[in-house]
Structure 1
Amino acid sequence: MAEGSKRLGFRRIPWLNIGAVVAIAVAGLVLVTKNSQGFVAHYILNVSYDPTRELYQALNPQFIKQYEVQSGSSVAVRQSHAGSSYQARLVAKGELKADVVTLGLPSDVDGLRNKGLIPDGWEKRLPNNSRPYESTIVFVVRKGNPHAIHDWPDLAKGDVEVIVPDPKTSGNGKLAALAAWGSVVVRGGDEREARALLKAIYDRAPFLDPAARSAGVAFAVEKKGDVHLAWENEALREAKESKGALEVVYPPISIRAEPTVAWVDANVVKHGSEVQAKAYLNFLFTDEAQEIIAREGYRPFNAQILARHADRLPDIRLFPITAIARDWVDAQNRFFAENGIIDAVYSPKPRID
């Protein structure tokens, strides 16, 4: 993975380029929103996971307006996007100087605590354990669902080709693996059966892209594979943009994904951005932001707002991480650490074009 840097504003921010991820390279990993006058008193960098570009492009202008009215000062928000676990590692190493992180997995955020960048108990500083919304993993298939894919076992039938991101770098990839595993054991199967299903899925993956968006481009734009295991919001977007060529399939059961946010204490102190970073994350829990979150295909923590969007975000059986591990950190160690469960059934499959 190539890395470089680019001068933006007052601080040097790494500029990421993830090899074959064409869509990311085109869109850019750092996007800046400014006030109309061009002068900005404060900047914050939001390091997020791969599919949230559109979400924060919608949220940031509303936050900026609110902040400027309430504080009388101006602020701009930079965005950085790539695979959730990859992003977390860059922040932990100091290569991305995040003021806030809005990552796909609680364990990715907690990894910053292990590096001393955020304190113990960080998740209690914001509502709902610092989780402004939930999501899940669903299927995207071709028009008419020619392979009759309706449930997780269908992914292991015949010559179905599965597009799924790499679980070593992508939150989507990790969650797809956990969802497949849980779809077996939560319904009474044993771990041998769960391992067999995971192995079958990876055997049917022609490649493992490093992030969710590039996997989606491979499926939806380049027309590779028969089914895409995607974040719900990505599935909805892909189906909408396909104009009927793609369909979303909700399996009977999937995982309750819990993307999590935090301000990075060590960085906001250095940057003098603590006030802005806290205001930004608190904004995500307001009714205004929760409506935007739902409109963009995420499941807001506000139950009343979620209910208003039930036509697009249907009620399905979502099992918690505690159904298959003690917590998210335990799941990270058990499944994705070196010599964990995933290593027994997975081998890297870089994309070769």
Structure 2
Amino acid sequence: MFHLPRIATTLAAAAIAVTSGLGTARAEPVEILNVSYDIARELYAKVNPVFIEHWKTETGDDLTVNQSHAGSSKQARAILQGLQADLVTFNQVTDVQVLADRGFVAEDWKTRFGNNASPYYSLPAFMVRGGNPKDIQDWDDLIRDDVTLVFPNPKTSGNGRYTYLAAYAYALQKYDGDDAQARGFVDKLLANVEVFDTGGRGATTTFVERNIGDVLITFEAEVENIRQAEDEGAYDRVVPSLSLLAEFPVAVVDRVAEKRGTVDVASAYLDFLYSTEGQEILASFNNRVHDEAVVEANADKFPEVDLVTVEDVFGGWDAAMETHFASGGVLDDLLAN
């Protein structure tokens, strides 16, 4: 089973491992804090020791990389309230942008790294129980009366917002742009949700360990990582015909990093994610990446999907947040029904 206590123990051991045995070149080794989204624990536990070795080779300096994980929006609020993040690896653009708007992150953060500061991407997909007993094939099946769902609360989770908007985008295409019919479709989908956890990992726990729901909707990468961690055949992946591009934006938190003298190492850490070695690690955790050689090597892992963007369908994240997720927005109206 995919047990959180086991994960916590593994990560604690990894944190000790990546900071030990690296020599004593500095009396006080450099420390940085990567504040990240909820389901990226195992990914960055793999990235960190590789980057630490790379940094040691390049500079001769010892380094400790600490991690903090929770819902992306919750993490952004924590930084605004004083969490000393040197860098962020989030799962929603607006959560970085709010830091930029408040002067924590540079205004030009999207152009400081490639692909709009998104070294990898994913999309909302479905995880169903082994053998797909409810014959789930696409979004239409999720509004059936005999199907129950689990996904994170869109009010608190970037993961959940992607799911909500992906379903809405599918419905808009299905009904030729008729917003009233699209709302009705999403209303039925929301009515089938058994549990709204605050973050992606909580939703996974509800589905896997508490055995609640017929379908877990989460990032494709999380679906595959969970399937690989469980007994073979315990769960199946279903990639819908249409989904939403989920970018994973990164940034140096300049206000903190400049004060702590960690701008260079924080920038190097994020640059590493774009290197071939970094992209290989990201792809090994079932993320879709941009490096052409790594994409080709992993092509058989990722089914084709009609991938739309928040910009194309909803006019960008600012418009989507105001229309759908702000107080009194469409989501609140639908949940009140």
Q: C-alpha distance in 1, partners of 2:168/2:312?
A: 10
Greater fraction helix: 2
Q: Which amino acid in 2 is paired with 1:27?
A: A
1:23 maps to which residue?
4
Equivalent residue of 2:243, what SS?
A: strand
1:4 maps to which residue?
none
| Match for residue 320 of structure 2 among 328, 331, 334 | 331
| Match for residue 243 of structure 2 among 254, 263, 273 | 254
Residues 172 and 182 of structure 2 are in contact (CA less than 8 Å); yes or no, is this contact kept in structure 1? yes
Alignment partner of 1:115 is 2:102: yes
Q: C-alpha distance in 1, partners of 2:132/2:196?
A: 22
1:15 maps to which residue?
none
CA separation of 1:24 and 1:177: change in aligned 2, threshold 3 A: farther
Equivalent residue of 1:284, what SS?
A: helix
1:316 maps to which residue?
305
TM-score normalised to the size of structure 1?
Answer: 0.87
Deviation by residue 1:177-211 (Cα, 9 ceiling, x = unmatched): 01000111134242112211222122111221011
Residues 239 and 303 of structure 2 are in contact (CA less than 8 Å); yes or no, is this contact kept in structure 1? no
Q: C-alpha distance in 2, partners of 1:271/1:25?
A: 33
Q: C-alpha distance in 1, partners of 2:32/2:267?
A: 10
Deviation by residue 1:271-307 (Cα, 9 ceiling, x = unmatched): 1111111111111100000011011110112233122
Residues 23 and 214 of structure 1 are in contact (CA less than 8 Å); yes or no, is this contact kept in structure 2? no
Residues 127 and 217 of structure 2 are in contact (CA less than 8 Å); yes or no, is this contact kept in structure 1? yes
Quote how far apart the aligned CAs of 1:117 are: 0.7
1:72 maps to which residue?
60
Quote how far apart the aligned CAs of 1:314 are: 2.2
Q: Which amino acid in 1 is paired with 2:206?
A: A
| Match for residue 331 of structure 2 among 329, 338, 342 | 342
Equivalent residue of 1:160, what SS?
A: coil
CA separation of 1:246 and 1:287: change in aligned 2, threshold 3 A: same
Equivalent residue of 2:39, what SS?
A: helix
Residues 149 and 192 of structure 2 are in contact (CA less than 8 Å); yes or no, is this contact kept in structure 1? yes
Alignment partner of 1:164 is 2:145: no
Q: C-alpha distance in 2, partners of 1:25/1:45?
A: 22
Residues 35 and 76 of structure 1 are in contact (CA less than 8 Å); yes or no, is this contact kept in structure 2? no
Q: C-alpha distance in 2, partners of 1:344/1:181?
A: 14
Residues 118 and 264 of structure 1 are in contact (CA less than 8 Å); yes or no, is this contact kept in structure 2? yes
1:83 maps to which residue?
71
Deviation by residue 1:23-67 (Cα, 9 ceiling, x = unmatched): 379728987341414756100000000111111111111111111
1:131 maps to which residue?
118
Alignment partner of 1:103 is 2:90: yes
CA separation of 1:273 and 1:161: change in aligned 2, threshold 3 A: same
Equivalent residue of 1:275, what SS?
A: helix
2:286 maps to which residue?
297
Deviation by residue 1:249-284 (Cα, 9 ceiling, x = unmatched): 111110010110000010001211111111111111
Q: C-alpha distance in 1, partners of 2:7/2:127?
A: 23
Quote how far apart the aligned CAs of 1:97 are: 1.1
Aligned residues: 326
Q: Which amino acid in 2 is paired with 1:232?
A: E
Equivalent residue of 1:311, what SS?
A: helix
Equivalent residue of 1:267, what SS?
A: helix
Q: Which amino acid in 2 is paired with 1:148?
A: D
Q: C-alpha distance in 2, partners of 1:325/1:206?
A: 27
Deviation by residue 1:71-93 (Cα, 9 ceiling, x = unmatched): 11111111111111111111122
1:221 maps to which residue?
209
Alignment partner of 1:287 is 2:268: no
CA separation of 1:252 and 1:60: change in aligned 2, threshold 3 A: same
Quote how far apart the aligned CAs of 1:167 are: 0.7
Q: Which amino acid in 2 is paired with 1:101?
A: V
CA separation of 1:117 and 1:270: change in aligned 2, threshold 3 A: same
Q: Which amino acid in 2 is paired with 1:34?
A: T
Residues 335 and 341 of structure 1 are in contact (CA less than 8 Å); yes or no, is this contact kept in structure 2? yes
